[in-house]
Copies of this chain bind each other. A is one copy, B any other.
Amino acid sequence: MADITPVLERADANLPESLERLFDLLRMKSISTDPAYKTECRKAAEWLARELQALGFDAAVRDTPGHPMVVGHHPGERPDAPHLLFYGHYDVQPVDPLELWEAPPFEPGFQEVEPGRKVITGRGTSDDKGQLMTFVEALRAYKETKGALPCRITILFEGEEESGSPSLKPFLEANADELKADYALICDTGMWDRETPAISAGLRGLVGEEIIVRAADRDLHSGLYGGAAANPIHILADILAGLHDETGRVTLEGFYEGVEETPAEVKATWENLESAAEKLLGEVGLSVPSGERGRSVLELTWARPTAEVNGIVGGYTGDGFKTVIAAQASAKVSFRLVGSQDPVKIRESFRAHVRAGIPADCSVEFHPHGASPAIHLAYDSALLNTAKAALSQEWPKPAVVIGMGGSIPIVGDFQSMLGMESLLVGFALADDRIHSPNEKYELASFHKGIRSWIRILDALAA
């Protein structure tokens, strides 16, 4: 392993200009969900392509039916080093409600939240422009110091992550040969806390399903019909209440098939983090872990499957009161999956549970909303252990391997379509307010994030 001290020093020296470049990117209103910002999305893509070209990448804006991709290639210094694919996204979430922002969302700035601790403010700082730029700036420091990159790098920037990535799969399929590398690096996740870097290993899968229960063919007056006419809200409440037993376990038949216990040694590292996890609940005003009894908050959110009702509506919901028996009521229900739980079987089992609760004269309609299996990155791979050691050199506390409650579909796509293992490293914090007003990114996340990638690249190339 070459001495990387000069590269790290160069990154430190570059910081003011790195921030200027980041701010240029942050000023572009690349909101992918709103067609009004189509031009701004392309502007961001073009800006990124130029940045990569300036670093010696063979980079281009690549059209899709939606917002464009940016793809760039750069050879590496060491021929036997692995070929790495880096993924980030340049699109951002909408900014409404605008009035809740303390500063305009697309005018990035700094804020000193406590002595010695600065944050970068603005839409996209944490999700994901600030994060993807840590990698770009790491490459720059490398290139400027060594005149080369330590290994062959392919970069893929997407512009539709916040709108469900409709063009991603077709693009991966059409360009599989070009994009296939030895490993994928994804920078769209978080640290454990400000001092502890994290590598995300388990990603829960997701099955979404909307159900609409219908009873009478019109809304009824509860005075005239109450007590004799089926009430779809009652039917729905019964069905939803029946999803869990008293111990918090999901009752669906076959639900726990493919769910494995987390290894004891992994659970042990999580126990060290547990008080912080309780703090996590505390930060949102809660204190009692819900869900399956006898399991820690971290295990519940990282390694256990769930059934959650995400939305429900039926009958009169305006001001005041209306004694109506609704004609229909609906709910959106999702399941987080772990291990090798089969999304198709879970959906079928849920539908069977729902159908069993529908009276003979009522009906139910199902609308599927996505199905993806859980993805588990091995807790003990060489890739993971190398990155863990590298991160632990940079930050005050050693890196931890954590689960992730949510899914990042691209990890599954990289695995299934390109046969690549992914490494998920990111420097966001839980309080970064991504998707919300006043999004921020710690200046330390940006600065030490750049340094972290230098260390990881160097270690992986060795």
Contact = CB atoms under 8 A, between A and B. Distances in A.
A228 interface: yes
Nearest to A230: B290
Contacts of A310: 222, 233, 315-316, 321-326
Interface string A194-232: 000000000010101010000111101111111111110
A354 to B, nearest CB: 13
Contact of A227 (B233, B300, B407): B300
Interface stretch (A63-71, A80-88, A281-289, A411-419): A281-289
Contacts of A407: 223
Given A309-B315, A310-B315, A227 B291 contact: yes
A370 interface: yes
A223, A227, A289 pick with most chain B CB within 10 angstroms: A227
Contacts of A390: none
Copies of this chain in its oligomeric complex: 2
A369 B329 contact: no
Given A310-B322, A321-B210, A369-B320, A284 B231 contact: no
A317 interface: yes
Contact of A312 (B224, B228, B315, B430): B315
A406 B281 CA distance: 45
Contacts of A330: 317
A34 interface: no
7 contacts: A206-B223, A220-B284, A224-B405, A287-B361, A310-B315, A311-B316, A311-B317
